[in-house]
Structure 1
């Protein structure tokens, strides 16, 4: 896991903006709610990165921690029925384990969709490659860094 975290740190260091990785005690942030509790924020500020496959094509969906992806809305965008990637597929395609998927510094280029639910917050906290790390980042910075598309796939 150290090499995964180092990959994210190296990626961040090369960016023209200043971001930092926050590390937590192992096991203290297994869920979005636990991460929010550690950070002293609402669960909505936790950016969940979920990998979906549609006709074999990967798409990383980044949402607020307090919403669920509407697969019908995602299907309309992707043009095919999406299914959540298995843990092995997630690691193979992103280089990160589920629960620690960083929306940038990915192993290979992947289409990224960022849900509008994140716009409610000045800062959100994305995983930094492991389940016990976070990177505070604005949605605007996230859109720029990931070259992601802002979409409404969780609804209100």
Structure 2
């Protein structure tokens, strides 16, 4: 993976936070590329924010989208198909790296190429704070979930909202 690409993604995230006036916390730690490491580092550092999960999706049309959700969520292909008009599949690591430059296990939701749609799982808006990897897997940012829409609205990407499913 190109370290310069990851540093550029990181800088775009710092710039986005500043441009939107979002106060955020930042930690530097061992690289996090899986949930076990995330859990271990989070416990050691006392993290309380909800970890986000960014699933990089591909469609038969050749389009890509990033599903921004929480760490416990699973891909609901039927709901994404209803939103996008085509059935999604999880992109391969090689497809993801070529399209957005992130490292597998550390996909960043902000600073993506403009052609990548962002699908927001609106359940993220119910949490107090959220955290994510800003490109470099040895960093984690946390910010108030109330600022999520301001951050997304500042992006050039098309943002699609996946409503919260009401449980009966």
TM-score bucket of the superposed structures, by smaller chain = 0.7 to 0.9
Asked if 2 retains the 8 angstrom alpha-carbon contact of 1:94 and 1:108, the reply is no
Pick aligned residue for 1:111 from 98, 114, 117: 117
Pick aligned residue for 2:52 from 47, 50, 55: 47
Gaps of 5+ in 2: 154-158
Q: 1:64 to 1:78 in 2, by over 3 A?
A: same
Which residue does the alignment assign to 2:19? Answer: 15
Kindly tell me the number of residue pairs found equivalent between the two proteins: 153
Q: 1:136 to 1:57 in 2, by over 3 A?
A: same
Structure with higher Rg: it is: 2
User: Superposition RMSD on alpha carbons, in Å?
Assistant: 2.5
Secondary structure at 1:92's aligned position in 2? helix
Asked if 2 retains the 8 angstrom alpha-carbon contact of 1:63 and 1:117, the reply is yes
Pick aligned residue for 2:64 from 58, 66, 73: 58
Which residue does the alignment assign to 1:6? Answer: 7
Gaps of 5+ in 1: none
Pick aligned residue for 2:98 from 89, 92, 96: 92
- Larger mean Cα displacement after TM superposition, 97-106 or 11-20: 11-20
Q: 1:125 to 1:36 in 2, by over 3 A?
A: farther
Pick aligned residue for 1:139 from 129, 145, 148: 145
Please, what TM-score do these two structures have when normalized by structure 2? 0.76
Asked if 1 retains the 8 angstrom alpha-carbon contact of 2:57 and 2:91, the reply is yes
**1: CA distance, partners of 2:11 / 2:137:** 18
